[in-house]
Structure 1
């Protein structure tokens, strides 16, 4: 599937969350300096939704939402918007750096976004984490990587 869905203009592009979409929650307060080290065993992946909820500093997606209540005062709405934007910038920076670390063992934003091809991430997850004696998966969310792919300049704001 990764070989077929590898180009947004042809067949579409597939993005994979490791181990699942709840990986967006698997963080302490943003920015999380320890994010690079987070991984889970295959056994814990079966209950990852609860594990991510319990691990997270945040109780909901509220820290990532920009919309405000229509009854909220304007300054509170603006503060929520700024916080959500900053949190997405932190998540993007953390996940792009981690994806690069998974692929080339360097904790940095890659020079070329092609270095973070989903097939590269997948193959390196298998080689460095899954198909090892410890059988782990490095926690990684693809939403921020999608943002990096399409809005690369936002990462430089972090």
Structure 2
């Protein structure tokens, strides 16, 4: 079986910086190919609504000339798995939480149409930590534009500013923090989880605990959760000792 993995990102820059650095310490037994969708999660929903037999690989390959070039020598069977990383984007003018739930149900298998991971509220959530002790309670408004990138840039820890220079110790700390936050969102326990959570489960708890209450989200990155799913909680725990 191919060890190629296709990563599909919402944007062209930040997610690639994260993945390139992450790949120095994790996933390096695989060949990671990255492509950008260059639009929000809601555009993908529109594509699905128009074509229930959507072929994710061809959708991405034909999305733009850059992707055509990247994937010109590949077919769908060349990739064992497809993973998609997008922002929650609750402030989008066509944002709809029912659509998000449908998307997470549709993109739930990495060996088929792909598995979707959401960052709340955006990809910069990975570094949105000013104090690990208070990260558990960090939430932000998600239904209006708040200049989130600027907020993160001004408040995150200095060693988290630049995704391209993270050390393995940095990743260890971020993985523990975000997975503990995921467990807190689901189970009110800010501890490293001993279970794998479906992305729909995370979203439903975000909806019930934050979004429906005061239009906020608990700040949470998709990347540590992806690693948790990929390796399993026991192996990942060993890798970050």
Query: TM-score when scaled to structure 2?
Result: 0.52
- Bigger Cα Rg: 2
Please tell me whether the aligned partners of residues 63 and 87 of structure 1 are also in contact (alpha carbons under 8 angstroms): no
The corresponding residue for 1:4 is 106
Q: 1:21 aligns with which of 123, 141, 146?
A: 123
The corresponding residue for 2:205 is 124
More strand by share: 2
The corresponding residue for 1:48 is 148
Question: Which consecutive unaligned segments of at least 5 residues does structure 1 have?
Answer: 65-83
The corresponding residue for 2:225 is 145
1:119-141, CA deviations, whole angstroms, 9 ceiling, x for partnerless residues? 01111111100111x32111000
Please tell me whether the aligned partners of residues 89 and 154 of structure 1 are also in contact (alpha carbons under 8 angstroms): no
The corresponding residue for 2:174 is 91
Does the residue aligned with 1:107 lie in a helix, a strand or coil? Answer: coil
The corresponding residue for 1:60 is 162
Q: How many residues align?
A: 134
The corresponding residue for 1:135 is 215
CA distance in 2, matches of 1:147, 1:28: 23
Query: TM-score when scaled to structure 1?
Result: 0.77
Q: Which runs of 4+ in 1 moved over 4 A?
A: none
The corresponding residue for 1:154 is 236
Higher RCO (CA < 8 A, seq sep 6+) = 1
Q: 1:62 to 1:36 in 2, by over 3 A?
A: same
Please tell me whether the aligned partners of residues 92 and 155 of structure 1 are also in contact (alpha carbons under 8 angstroms): no
